[in-house]
Amino acid sequence: MNAQSAKADIPSPLGLLAELTHRCPLACPYCSNSLALEDRQNELDTSIWNRVFHEAAAMGVLHVHLSGGEPASRRDLTDIVAAAHAAGLYTNLITSSIGLGFERLRQMKALGLDHIQLSLQDVDATSADRIAGYRGSHAAKIAFAQSVVELGFAFTVNAVIHSANISRVTEMMELAASLGAGRVEIAHAQYYGWALPNRRALMPTREQVARAMRDVEEVYPRYEGRMLIDLVVPDYYARRPKPCVGGWGQRSLNVTPSGRVLPCHAAETIPGLQFWSVHDHALEAIWAESPAFQTFRGTEWMLEPCRSCALRDSDFGGCRCQALAIAGDARATDPACELSPHHSLMNRIAETDSALAESDYIYRGRRRRADATPM
C-alpha cells in the first residue's frame, strides 16, 4: 500500500489537523491547544495553507480537520475551505459556532465543505456556559445546529466528558440526536494541554467513569443505524493505553497556526524535540525526516516493558506526552497500561484529584481563575 512512500517503512499519513488559529471566544478548561497560545500576527496566511493542503493531498492525506482555536475567528475561512476542497481533501470543520453566521456557512457548503463537528459542553445552558466560560454559547450552538441541518451538512456533535457533566452522558447523546446529528463523539477528557493544569477540577471518580461507560453501552443499540456513537475512553482508570494518534508519525500530523508541524497536539511539551516549519520545508520532508517525527516513530525507541510486548505494534506504547507527564520520561510506557511501573501512581492521581472536587477552572487563554473574573 505504501510502495510509493519516500521510505519504505514510513506510511503515508491519512489525516491533517490544521490549527488555523489559537484565537477563540470560548475558554474551555480542557482545550487541547498548548498552554503557550500563538499570536495572530504569526498565523499562516491563506496562500501558505493552500500550499500545505496541496502538499498534504499529494503525500496521501485524505481528511483535513480545520480546527483551532475557533476557525471562524479567521476572516479568510471560506477561502481556506475552498483551498482544502480544491486540493481534493475531505474537509471537516471543527467549530464552537461562535462567530460563524448562516451566510458564511452557506458559502462554505457551496465551496465543498463536507462535514461539521460542533462542540457541546453540557445539556443545559447554565452549566454549558460556565464550562465554556462564555455566556450565551449554548443557546448559540443550538441555533447553529439547526442551520447545519437545514443546509444539509453531515453533522457530528462532540462532547468532552469530565466531572461537571459526566452524570449526563445519556442526555448528551439524546440532545445530539434531537439536533439532527448523524454522529456523536463522547470524548472523555484527555489530560494534556489545558486539561493537565485543570485535572483536579475535571477528573471524575472511578464510579462516575464506570457508570458513564455503562450509560453509553445502554444507549448504543437505541440509535443503531440512526446515529453513530464514537467513544474516546478515559485513560486514568484504564488497563491498557490507547494507540495515541494511531501511532506517532503513522497516520496523522498537526500544523500549528504559525506553521510548526507536530506529530500530536501536545508534542511540544516534550523537551528536546525539534519541530520543523512549513515555512522552511515541504510537508512530505517534514513527515519523513524531521527529528520530531523520527524520534518516536516505530518501536526502536521503546524501553521495557514495551520493547518486548506483543502489543507494541498495535498500541505503540500509548501516549508519549502522558508518559512524560506521569512517569517523567517520554520514552516510558504510557502509565495507562497496567504493565507500567507507574500505573498505580496514575490511579492514585486520579483518585486524589477526583476526591478534591476542585470547582474553579483555569480558563484557557484567560489570566485569572473563574472566581476572580465575571463571566
Partner 1 sequence: MQERVSPRLPEYPRLAAGVRLQFDGRRGLWVLLGPERIIETEGPASEILQRCDGSRTVEQIVDELARLYAADRDEIANDVTEMLSELVMKRMLVG
**Binding interface with partner 1 (CB under 8 A):** 1-2, 4, 12, 14, 58-60, 62-63, 88, 90, 92, 114-115, 117, 152-156, 180, 182-183, 224-228, 230
Q: CA-CA distance, 137 to 144, in Å (whole number)?
A: 10
Please say which residue, 71 or 365, places its beta carbon nearer to partner 1.
71
Q: CA-CA distance, 353 to 346, in Å (whole number)?
A: 10
Q: CA-CA distance, 260 to 18, in Å (whole number)?
A: 11
Please say which residue, 2 or 352, places its beta carbon nearer to partner 1.
2
Residue 120 CB, shortest distance to partner 1, in Å, is 16
Q: Order of strands, edge to edge, in the sheet holding 183-188? A: 228-232, 183-188, 154-161, 115-120, 90-95, 63-67, 15-19, 252-255, 261-262
Please say which residue, 5 or 299, places its beta carbon nearer to partner 1.
5
How many CB atoms lie under 10 A from the CB of residue 174? Answer: 17
Residue 287 CB, shortest distance to partner 1, in Å, is 13
Q: Cis bond leading into 305, ω under 30°?
A: yes
Please say which residue, 226 or 367, places its beta carbon nearer to partner 1.
226
Residue 232 CB, shortest distance to partner 1, in Å, is 11
Please say which residue, 88 or 305, places its beta carbon nearer to partner 1.
88
With CA atoms as reference, report the closest residue to 255 among 225, 227, 276: 276
Please say which residue, 44 or 229, places its beta carbon nearer to partner 1.
229
DSSP class of residue 298?
S
Please say which residue, 149 or 196, places its beta carbon nearer to partner 1.
149
Q: Which residues contact 109 (CB under 8 A, 6 or more apart)?
A: 151, 152, 153
Residue 224 CB, shortest distance to partner 1, in Å, is 6
Nine cell digits for residue 27: 475558554
| Partners of 154 in the β-ladder | 115
Angle CA(193)–CA(199)–CA(204) in degrees, nearest 5? Answer: 125
Residue 213 CB, shortest distance to partner 1, in Å, is 20
Residue 310 CB, shortest distance to partner 1, in Å, is 26
Residue 17 CB, shortest distance to partner 1, in Å, is 12
Chain centre distance of CA 311: 24
In this structure, are strands 154-161 and 15-19 parallel, antiparallel, or unpaired?
unpaired
